[in-house]
């Protein structure tokens, strides 16, 4: 679902709605269909329709730009790069590391956690003298969106790609 300005209503996570919702938006005339699934038709007693794959809202919806702390947002802020050795990590291999260890009173906040690969995390352990290359910070919504745009999307319909620039 795109906002009236042509960009997704939400980037984090991507504004994906169910087919039932998409039909509701269509029936209520709240959004315009930009693309359809060619081979997906749904029926009710009296009518049938193809299912929309991309829609744009008729009225602009204010975006929520507050950032919640989460492990995934820390990984995203760090671009899935270990903050100790600089190696790339994946969603599967990324670990969350407390710069000031929890055992030393370290908090689970954007300012005290970084992305680490398994070996660096194990190597650091409870050593508070080993510090990341960059001081961790609380990212803005737009910084996270920029990072997210650089990563691959798992898209159920190829037409979506055109709207994710």
Instruction: Kindly list the residues in this chain that would bind Zn ion in the complex (CB under 5 A).
Output: 82, 84-85, 87, 117, 120
Kindly tell me which of 22 and 115 has the beta carbon lying closer to Zn ion.
Answer: 115
Nearest-approach distance from CB 74 to Zn ion, in angstroms: 15
Residue pointed to by tokens 């650089």? 150
**Max CA-CA distance within the chain?**
70
Kindly tell me which of 1 and 81 has the beta carbon lying closer to Zn ion.
Answer: 81
Cα distances (angstroms) measured from residue 28 to each of 82, 111, 143: 47, 45, 35
Kindly tell me which of 54 and 82 has the beta carbon lying closer to Zn ion.
Answer: 82
Nearest-approach distance from CB 138 to Zn ion, in angstroms: 22
Nearest-approach distance from CB 114 to Zn ion, in angstroms: 10
For the residues of 7-29, what is the DSSP string, one character each? Answer: SBS-BTTB----HHHHHHHHHTT
């Amino acid at each position: 679902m795109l906002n009236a300005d042509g960009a997704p209503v939400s980037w984090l996570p991507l504004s994906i709605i169910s087919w039932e919702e998409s039909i509701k938006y269509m029936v209520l005339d709240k959004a315009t269909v930009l693309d359809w699934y060619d081979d997906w038709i749904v029926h009710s007693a009296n009518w049938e329709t193809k299912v929309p794959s991309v829609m744009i809202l008729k009225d602009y919806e204010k975006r929520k730009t507050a950032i919640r702390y989460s492990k995934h947002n820390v990984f995203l802020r760090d671009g899935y790069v270990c903050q100790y050795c600089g190696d790339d990590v994946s969603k599967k291999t990324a670990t969350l590391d407390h710069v000031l260890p929890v055992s030393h009173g370290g908090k689970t906040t954007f300012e005290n956690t970084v992305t680490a690969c398994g070996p660096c995390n194990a190597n650091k352990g409870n050593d508070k003298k080993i510090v990341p290359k960059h001081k961790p910070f609380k990212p803005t919504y737009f910084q996270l969106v920029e990072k997210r745009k650089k990563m691959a999307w798992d898209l159920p319909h190829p037409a979506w790609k055109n709207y994710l620039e």
